[in-house]
Amino acid sequence: MSRGAIGRAARVLGVAAFWLAVWQLLYQSVGQEILLVSPAQTLSRVFELSCRADFWVSAGGSLYNVAAGFVCASLLGVVLGALCCRFRFLYQLIYPLLSAVKATPVASFIILALVWLQSVRVPAFIAGLIVLPIVFGNVCQGAAAADRELLEMARVFRLGRWKTLRYIYLPTVAPYLAAAFTTGMGLAWKAGVSAEVLANVRSSIGGRIYGAKIYLDTADLFAWTAVVVVLSVALERLLLACFRRIPWGEGKP
Amino acid sequence: MKLEHLNQAYGERAVLRDFSLELPDSGTVCLFGPSGCGKTTLLNCLAGILTPQGGTITGLSGKRISYVFQESRLLPWATVLENVELVLPPNHTQTALEWISRAGLLPYAGQYPRKLSGGQRQRVSFARALAYGGDVLLLDEPFHALDRAAAQEMSALLQQSFPESLKILVTHSREEAERLSDRIYFLEGPPLRVVSCREQTAR
């Protein structure tokens, strides 16, 4: 391990230790476990839960809901974004709708979706609805940032649509897409789990959080929240790692 | 090739106003004039980057046009080899390597443009344009980023390549114009106008 990597790891551990210490101090000063549980209690509860089969069923259920919404919305966002870059009128048609979706409170959509759909489908729908405008917006922004001079070069040398897309648009859009995916993944978990709570979806983390609220089980609430955070960060990292393996921008300054 | 009554303006500023010019089918023609007089706009019209707001260009349809831009315009995320290969049909890696070699950049074929000097990037731009070939080669201040020796090397490469095609060289260096061209148009502007024309019979 290089000295730089050791330094980085030490910094990360230092920051984590600081916030755990703050949490512990808060726990001690509040002194009521119904309001705040300690980091050790949370960790121990996560461990206890993870020894039960229904933990994995719930975590898997939420993972499925969020991933399904995220993947569908990302694909739709990329396709819509690409079409809107090609056909300006389509952008003018779609942009106000997606802007409205972005600005509308998630709770309104969750309640509407509960009226429209079966409750098990609501979390994936909501996760997708949150991700779609982000991916769409970033694809459009990335495509608009394509270097005009390179596009002129492509035109002179008659590169054609495929080469122009592959060699100019994709490397330009890639960082915007990566940013959309990281932001979108976090928001998809937030919105997806919120929808699970409001829809009280069984076999999901949201359903478990709802149960924790009913029984005022703060340790369970913290444990499931910790699971959401871990899953969200892990998926985000995995996604970025996959993204980096695609050789579309390695020489970019 | 005939350019007749071309008009092009950027807002209120007319760069081409009723501009006409007749160009031969081959040889090297130099458009010599001060910076900002409208030479690049004219080249961009010829390259199809700009559609003139008025006038016609005849004798260009179906012709293959290559361009050495003033800035190298290389893909920053592609290697030197990929940048040259880009303008070629598939499976022409060997052709790309030959042109890179002729531009003196073979050891840099796997490098990304950001690792190269300005002069080396311009050589890649030369290699790309020459690899693409074509009936008309447009050169917009192609030697400005090169030192004297490199400029001479590239101009020699240019003279050896595609003798049957038309090369249109834009420059504000009289020495370059006289050394490389068969015909020099002395220009002023904007709006661009031909002040005089000189055949370089001694070449």
| Chain B interface test: which of A149, A150, A157, A164 (most B C-beta within 10 Å) | A157
ipTM higher than threshold 0.95? no
Shortest CA gap A177–chain B (Å): 17
- CA–CA separation, A240 and B13 (whole Å): 48
Give pLDDT < 50 ranges for chain B. none
Query: Does A251 contact B79 at a Cβ distance shorter than 8 Å?
Result: yes
From edge to edge, which strands make up the β-sheet containing B193-199?
B65-68, B136-140, B166-171, B27-32, B183-188, B193-199
pTM of the predicted model, to two decimals?
0.83
Judging by DSSP bridges, how do beta strands B183-188 and B193-199 pair with one another?
A: antiparallel
Predicted local confidence at residue B202, as pLDDT: 55
pLDDT surpasses 60 at A73: yes
d(C-alpha A223, C-alpha A210), whole Å: 13
Identify whether B190 is preceded by a cis peptide bond (ω within 30 of 0): yes
Residues from A contacting B (CB-CB < 8 Å) are: 149-150, 152-153, 155-157, 159, 163, 167-168, 171, 248-253
C-alpha span between B131 and B161 (Å, rounded)? 10
Distance, first Cα to last Cα, chain B: 23
Considering only the beta carbons, identify the residue of A156, A171, A253 that sits closest to B49.
Answer: A156
Tell me the C-alpha distance between B53 and B187, whole Å.
Answer: 21
Alpha-carbon separation of residue B191 from A64, B3, B37, B51, B54 (angstroms):
65, 15, 7, 17, 14
Nearest CA in chain A to B68: A153
pLDDT above 80 for A246: no
Q: Give the per-residue pLDDT at A253.
A: 42
- Residue B43 burial (10 A CB sphere; 0-12, 13-18, 19+): buried
C-alpha distance from A8 to closest chain B C-alpha (Å): 28
| Per-residue pLDDT reduced to its tens digit, A78-97 | 999 999 988 889 999 998 99
Percent of chain A with pLDDT over 90: 72
Between A156, A163, A252, which is nearest B47 by CB? Answer: A156
CB pairs under 8 A between A and B: 52
B13-22, strands of its sheet edge to edge:
B13-22, B2-10, B54-58
Residue A251 confidence (pLDDT) above 80? no
What six digits make up the tokens of A54?
């229904």
Residue from B42, B63, B9 nearest B169 by CA: B42
Q: How far is B85 from chain A (nearest CA, A)?
A: 11
Strand partners, B94: none
- Give the one of B69, B73, B75 whose C-beta lies nearest to A167's C-beta: B75
How much is the mean pLDDT over chain A?
Answer: 90
The answer to whether the beta carbons of residues A77 and A134 sit under 8 Å apart is yes
Report cis status (omega within 30 of 0) of the bond before A171. no
Residue A249 pLDDT greater than 70, yes or no? no
pLDDT (tens digit per residue) in A177-190: 999 999 999 999 99
Cβ-based contacts of B41 with chain A (< 8 Å)? none
Query: Is the pLDDT assigned to residue A252 strictly greater than 60?
Result: no
- Ranges of H-type helices in B67-186: 80-85, 93-102, 118-132, 148-160, 174-180
Q: How far apart are alpha carbons A77 and A141 in whole angstroms?
A: 12
Q: Where does the pLDDT of residue A1 fall: very low under 50, low under 70, confident under 90, or very high at 90 and above?
A: low
CB neighbours of residue B28 within 10 Å: 24
Please compute the mean of the pLDDT values over residues A51-60 and round it to a whole number: 92
Q: Does the CB of B65 have a partner CB in chain A at under 8 Å?
A: yes
B112 interface with A at CB cutoff 8 Å? yes
> B10-63 pLDDT, tens per residue?
988 999 999 999 999 889 999 998 888 899 999 999 999 999 999 999 988 889
Question: Which chain B positions have a beta carbon within 8 Å of A250's beta carbon?
Answer: 77, 112
| DSSP per position, chain A | --HHHHHHHHHHHHHHHHHHHHHHHHHHHH--TTT---HHHHHHHHHHHHTSHHHHHHHHHHHHHHHHHHHHHHHHHHHHHHHHHH-HHHHHHHHHHHHHHHHS-HHHHHHHHHHHS-GGGHHHHHHHHHHHHHHHHHHHHHHHTS-HHHHHHHHHTT-HHHHHIIIIIHHHHHHHHHHHHHHHHHHHHHHHHHHHHHHT-SSSHHHHHHHHHHTT-HHHHHHHHHHHHHHHHHHHHHHHHHHHHS-SSTT--
Whether the CB-CB separation of A247 and A171 falls below 8 Å is answered with: no
Q: What is the pLDDT of residue A125?
A: 95
State the residue for tokens 């019209």: B45
Q: Which residues of A touch B47 (CB under 8 A)?
A: 152, 155-156
| Mutation site for B-interface testing, chosen from A156, A159, A169, A172 by largest number of B Cβ within 10 Å | A156
Sign, Cα dihedral of A164, A165, A166, A168: positive
pLDDT at B174: 85
* Whole-number pLDDT of residue B144: 84
